[in-house]
């Protein structure tokens, strides 16, 4: 069980999480684009926002992998199913608290229930489990986060 393994798992898990969400978008199951949402926090330039958003998404993926690593260390186990449980909790927290409380507080280009056409908001707020981006967004988000958790656990040394 090593930090390097956790970081490698965070990278691989983020690739899979991002790919699952991108596939869900291409299959018209969701309209969510996490890198774009993250990137538009710092710039209104759409191309630059995508690039910065991917960078931010991977940095967040590394950070969460370290949190998972710490939880595995505290619990003294690193089973794949425990990674799946962490991933499910991560997905629920991300889809509720992070996108509905934290993101709108820091995102200067996100609309809210208080904004109107005169405020010129560029992005629709995600809503509960990001369902404003499509009814299947919650399922795609939860599945992708569970996969992330399993991958981090396997890289950390879980079997």
- What is the rounded CA–CA span in Å between residue 128 and residue 120? 23
Query: pLDDT tens across 107-125, in order?
Result: 877 776 666 656 565 677 7
Helix (H, G, I), strand (E, B) or coil at 18: helix
- Predicted structure pTM score: 0.88
Spatial CB neighbours of 33, under 8 Å, sequence gap ≥ 6: 21, 25, 53
Identify the segments of the chain with pLDDT beneath 70. 112-122, 158-159
pLDDT of residue 115: 63
CA distances from 89 to 3, 12, 30, 93 (A): 21, 19, 21, 6
Domain ranges of the chain: 3-156
> In this structure, are residues 145 and 87 in contact, taking their beta carbons and an 8 Å threshold?
yes
72 and 154 Cβ atoms separated by less than 8 Å: no
Give every CB contact of residue 6 below 8 A, 6+ residues apart in sequence.
65, 66, 68, 69, 152, 155, 156
Residue 12: predicted pLDDT: 97
Q: Which residues pair with 123 in a beta bridge?
A: 110
CA dist 134 and 50 (Å) reads 20
Q: Given this model, what pLDDT does residue 124 score?
A: 76
- Least Cα distance to 21 among 141, 158, 114 occurs for 141
Query: What length does the chain have?
Result: 159
């Amino acid at each position: 069980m090593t930090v390097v393994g956790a970081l490698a798992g965070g990278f691989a898990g983020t690739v899979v999480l991002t790919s699952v969400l991108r596939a869900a978008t291409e299959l018209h199951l969701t309209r969510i684009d996490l890198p774009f949402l993250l990137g538009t926090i710092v710039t209104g330039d759409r191309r630059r926002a995508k690039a910065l958003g991917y960078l931010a998404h991977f940095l967040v993926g590394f950070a969460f992998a370290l949190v998972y690593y710490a939880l595995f260390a505290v619990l003294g186990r690193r089973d794949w199913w425990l990674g799946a449980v962490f991933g499910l909790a991560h997905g629920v927290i991300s889809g509720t608290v992070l996108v509905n409380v934290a993101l709108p507080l820091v995102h200067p280009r996100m609309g809210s229930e208080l904004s109107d056409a005169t405020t010129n908001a560029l992005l629709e707020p995600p809503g509960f489990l990001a369902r404003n981006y499509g009814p299947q967004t919650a399922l795609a988000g939860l599945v992708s986060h569970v996969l992330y958790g399993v991958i981090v656990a396997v890289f950390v040394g879980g079997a």
